[in-house]
Structure 1
Amino acid sequence: MDSTQHLLERLEQLHRIGAALSRERDIHHLLESILEAAKRLLGADGGTLYRVTEDGEALRFAIVRTDSLGLRLGGVSEESPQFPDLPLRLPSGALNDSLVAVHAAVHDRTINIADAYCQQHFDFSGTRAFDARTGYRSQSFLTVPMKNHENELIGVLQLINAIDPATGQVRAFTAQDQRLAESLASQAAIALSNRQLITQLETLFESFVQLINLAIDEKSPYTGGHCQRVPALTMLLAEAAHATTEGPLAEFAMSERDRYELKMAGLLHDCGKITTPVHVVDKATKLQTLYDRIGLVDTRFEVLKRDARIDMLRRQLALRPVADAHAEAQLQATLGRQLQALDEERDFLRHCNHGVEAMPEADQQRVRAIGQGRRWRNPDGVTTALLTAEELQNLTIRSGTLTQAERDVINHHIVSTINMLESLPWPRHLRNVPEYAGGHHERMDGRGYPRGLTREQMSWQARMLGVADIFEALTAADRPYKQGMKLSQALAIMRRMADGGHIDPDLFAVFLRQQVYLRYAERFLDPGQIDAVDVQRLLRADMPLD
């Protein structure tokens, strides 16, 4: 009865081990759990878990444990096993049958040895050398091959020195031990194969995400850096929020799955830009399309200057044959003033071609006066205004370099992002990716786009992406139309955005208090952008900002 009860207890333990292994996500923890579970189940003092090498030609020491020696190598231990791989075949091509672990692997059979020192069929010279160095006595061995659902070898489980619980002495592994070890090895192989398959799928998915970002990067080097920096900043802010113990974010917490989900959302937050025309994304000047059309305007000024010279020469000829030095001097002076005025107007338009934060109304009016007041003869011989209506519209853009139509094109990338992400069959642990990624252009006051969501309708994660997206854009030095701001300037703007209902004020407070901005800056910004920041001043609601 005691024997039956003991067997039932071991079977129940085996069942619990199998369930625990199926839940483990980390491959290193899983490998360690397999070996430790086998040692506990069979009462072994030590053991080794081998994995098949990537080329399938050898067994590699993955985990090594010996309790009585305090030996812990591999798994979550910082020290990895430094033993040489065990080749499955000899240089001659013959099977390496002299090594017990290899024999078990290539012949797919369990090998149960009562005393390695009395064994004649296998080479235990390495074991004897280990014993000689450590004073250990390796005696009983139980070696079990591990195969996956496709009957492919994925590893070998080897247990050493079964301990008699009654006497504490080393004993041989029993037939019951062997059956339990084989059952555990089978369950472990399934768990390991599943974990490897999931890891491969996750790696494939992440590689696909990186491929999308690479495609955006190839289209525009400016957005490529953005696609990498925003996820990094988002995770810094998320970790800061996770560590917060007071205030509205005190209850915010993330598991490893939550972190992975947010990371994927960060990487995919601008995937819709793959549909955005490059000439809009990279529009460095107001007149840029596929090229900067300011050159066309320059040509027209040269035509006007040529015409002014021709007109002056005609007037000079009209003075012939009577010479009038005073009149000719006046003509030259008039031409000089005309050419100077044309050069000044051309330089002014070139200046206006570059985007600024706010173009003065007086400058806009002067552009219109030049564009409509100046006339030139085009290649068709038609006298027309110096600037077309479309050129006037572009050169009088008040902020930045984009017209409203172009901003709409840029803004549409978030609609494309949402459509792309919502069309995918996300697994349960990634189901929030579309919501997180699709909300980074919404505002807390409901005046954002594309859905006009309010703060209460958005997750913390979506709001984090919004904060990260804006800070990265303000400080980025690789944009074609602006220089990267210093920290103090960018944070002052963000404080006004928090006050104005654009970004979440509680997240911005965490961003400041835990110096997320500084940790990001040290990794990604030019040292010249890192200046002193008065955090307490930025946190004071009653402190006006310049």
Structure 2
Amino acid sequence: MHELNHDQIAQRLDQLTELSVALGAGHDTDLLLERILLVAKRMTNADGGTLYRPSSDGRTLCFHLSVNDTLGLHLGGSSGNPGDIAPVALTGEQGEPNLESVAAYAANQGQSVNIADVYQADGFNFSGMRAFDQRFGYRSQSFLTVPMRDHTGELLGVLQLINARDPRGGTVGTFSATDQRFIEALAAQAAVALTTQQLVGQLEKLLEGIVNLINIGIDEKSPYTGRHCQFVPVLTMMLADAASEAEHGPLANFRMSDADRKELWLAGLLHDCGKITTPVHIVDKATKLQTIYDRIGLLDTRFEVLLRDAELRALKEQIAGGDPDAIGARLRQEQATLRAERAFLRHVNVGSEGMAPDDEDRVRRIAARRWTDAEGVEQPFLGADEVHNLTIRYGTLTPEERAIINNHIVMTVRMLESLPWPKHLRHVPEFAGGHHERMDGKGYPKGLRGDQMSIPARVMAIADIFEALTATDRPYKKPKALSEALAILGRFSLNGHIDPALFDIFVRRKVYLEFARGHLDPAQIDDVDESAIPGYTP
């Protein structure tokens, strides 16, 4: 044992300060633990050291890292060599605390153990240490074992140093009381850093869990949107990564750090969280007449009534002495017309990308037919709401229903902006809430122009549209083939809907193809002639 002079104490204080800074800035737990052990070893001029961490069930101390200068050993940590050091039991067979092992004793009692010579010490089982010495031809002597606990007393690890060496001659001596106090101070600092890091990690996992919880709720409500919530973030990150690698053009200065990527990924997961408030019968509206059920069945019943009425009239005419051939011909013609109209209404009930004006007029002519209901009341064949739905020009949603669907993005923004986002996630609401904005300012909910939108929001807009076009699980439309989806996106890039620079990267870097191979039905992956894509120049 030797006394420290003022310079040596100052040097140790500097090392503690440096470690504090490193612990505050570090985010990799394994690297932090390795730095803690190495600083402790250097501070006390120890020949070696070992760091243990408690197992998840708290019953053992698991080897994490070990270094030894004399033996040239570096096991665990950054060495890549996991080592074969057995764990140390913290409890006995009956659950009693293990006080025989020095490391377990320090962990269970919450006390440092400073031993001058393990071969002369009583009260502890050093069989493992002696086996180590015999195996490696080493001579263990002095030990300093210090527990690391958080503010609640929970064990975070055990730091064990071996063989304190005199810095002047290299002879092995004992760890001084000053050595012990410095290492205890270091262990306390390390515990604070590890606790903070664990809390941050737990909060991040909690946040991810809440996000998944929302998406589970949306998925349970509508399985058609669950896939969308999973794939839009994937495609968003693929395009964002490709854009961040651009060396020329409008996006040459766009770069993303790991923190930026995490923020964008989270925004992608939450981009449709507002759909949790959208009525399920609108989200899943597969046909024009669908509400809780598809009302086309009601129309089928009315046609059956008209068909039977026609048959009854024909029978009455025959009974009255009419010409059977003429009556039969009229009946067949009338029933053929009714069946054709029924088939027509079934056809238009399925949404399309453009209903012809003549078809709209035909729906209105059919609506003017009269039929008698079960109460004996004669009324128009189609009600006003049925005509309104059957004459929807695009898709299956009425303007009123589309407004409700569009409100999901308003709810997304409201929900996300109500949360107290930390600084490194403060852009999540803007990224998630901007995927329905347009470059020309005609989007929603805020009507932002391209120069008012961030690049990540513009990226997500393309990912959202492409995934929706190619989705295989939508009940109201067939999925687009790759070439057709790219043609639509290309037209969008020309008419001010999406960012043409990002669309260029989407095609040029073949982001579309990478996503398609991983997530689309192989039947959708047709041959793409990139030179024919609107708005793209190979």
So what's the TM-score if we normalise by structure 2? 0.93
Contact 1:222 1:480 in 2 (8 A): yes
Post-superposition offset of 1:451: 0.4
Equivalent of residue 327 in structure 2, options 315, 319, 331? 331
- Identical residues among aligned pairs (%): 56
Distance 1:538 1:69 in 2: 66
Match of 1:27 in 2: 29
Match of 1:376 among 371, 377, 380: 371
1:344 matched to 2:327: no
Q: CA offsets, 1:358-403, max 9 Å, x none?
A: 222222222222222x221123322222111211121111111111
Show structure 2 runs of 5+ residues with no match.
Answer: none
Structure 1 residue aligned with 2:242, among 218, 240, 243? Answer: 240
Where 2:5 maps in the other structure, the secondary structure is helix
Alpha-carbon separation, structure 1, partners of 2:41 and 2:4: 22
Range 237-246 or range 101-110, more displaced: 237-246
Deviations 1:105-131 (A, max 9, x none): 112221223444444432232233344
SS of 1:489's equivalent in the other structure is helix
Deviations 1:257-309 (A, max 9, x none): 22221122111111111110000000001100000000001011001001000
2:296 is the counterpart of 1:301: no
- Measured after TM superposition, the shift of residue 134 of structure 1 is 4.5
How far, CA to CA, are the matches of 1:282 and 1:175 in structure 2?
Answer: 72
Query: Aligned residue for 1:10?
Result: 12
Q: Say whether residues 1:489 and 2:484 are aligned partners.
A: yes
Aligned residue-pair number: 536
CA contact 1:21–1:188 (8 Å) conserved in 2: yes
Q: 1:253 aligned to 2:248? A: no
Instruction: Work out whether 1:208 is the aligned partner of 2:204.
Output: no
Task: For 1:251 and 1:169, locate their aligned partners in 2 and report how far apart those are by CA, in whole Å.
Answer: 58
Query: Distance between the aligned counterparts of 2:347 and 2:513, measured in 1?
Result: 34
User: Structure 1's 296 and 15: CA in aligned 2 closer, same or farther, altered over 3 A?
Assistant: same
* Paired letter, 1:387: L
What's the counterpart of residue 532 of structure 1?
527
Distance 1:461 1:108, change over 3 A: same
Q: 1:262 to 1:162 in 2, by over 3 A?
A: farther
Distance, in Å, in 1 between the alignment partners of 2:184 and 2:92 is 27
Map of 2:358 onto structure 1: 362
Q: Does the 8 A contact of 1:509 with 1:539 survive in 2? A: no
Take 1:429 and 1:188, find their aligned partners in 2: how far apart are those partners? 24
Aligned to 1:405: 400
Selected match of 2:503 from 508, 512, 535:
508
- 1:424 counterpart SS class: coil
Counterpart Cα distance in 2 of 1:346 and 1:299: 10
Would you say the 8 A contact 1:443–1:454 is kept in 2?
A: yes
Question: What is the SS of the residue equivalent to 1:472?
Answer: helix
| 104-113 or 456-465: bigger deviation | 104-113
Deviation at residue 43 of structure 1 after TM alignment:
3.5
Q: Does 1:420 align with 2:422?
A: no
Inter-partner Cα distance in structure 2 for 1:475 and 1:169: 73
Please give the alpha-carbon distance, in whole angstroms, between the structure 2 residues aligned to 1:438 and 1:484: 25
Counterparts of 1:274 and 1:12, CA distance in 2:
54
**2-side partners of 1:75 and 1:506: how far apart?**
44
1:535 and 1:137 mapped to 2: Cα distance? 72
Worse-superposed segment, 340-349 or 378-387: 378-387
Structure 2: distance between partners of 1:171 and 1:71:
21
**CA distance, structure 2, for counterparts of residue 75 and residue 466 of structure 1:** 42
The whole-number CA distance in structure 2 between the counterparts of 1:78 and 1:228 is 34
Question: What CA deviation, in whole Å up to 9, does each residue of 1:494-546 have, x standing for no partner?
Answer: 11111111111122222223322223223322222223334455486468xxx
Higher mean C-alpha deviation, range 125-134 or range 466-475: 125-134
Change (3 A) 1:316 1:539: closer
Provide the residue aligned with 1:102 in structure 2: 104
Within 5 A, what are the aligned runs for 1:446-465? 446-465=441-460
Q: 1:542 to 1:23 in 2, by over 3 A?
A: closer
1:308 aligned counterpart, secondary structure: helix
Partner of residue 518, structure 2: 523
Distance 1:416 1:505, change over 3 A: same
CA distance in 2, matches of 1:344, 1:77: 78
- How much does 1:80 deviate? 4.2
Compared CA separation, residues 266 and 54, structure 1 to 2 (3 A): same
- Which residue in the other structure is 2:158 paired with? 156
Question: Offset of 1:225 from its aligned partner?
Answer: 1.2
Matching residue's letter, 1:349: L
C-alpha separation in 2, matches of 1:509 and 1:37:
51
Residues 55-80 of structure 1: per-residue CA shift (max 9 Å, x gap): 22222223334456565444456554
Task: Specify every segment of 5 or more residues in structure 1 that has no aligned partner in the other structure, as ranges.
Answer: none
Give the Cα–Cα distance (whole angstroms) in 1 for the partners of residues 523 and 312 of structure 2.
52
Aligned match of 2:265: 263
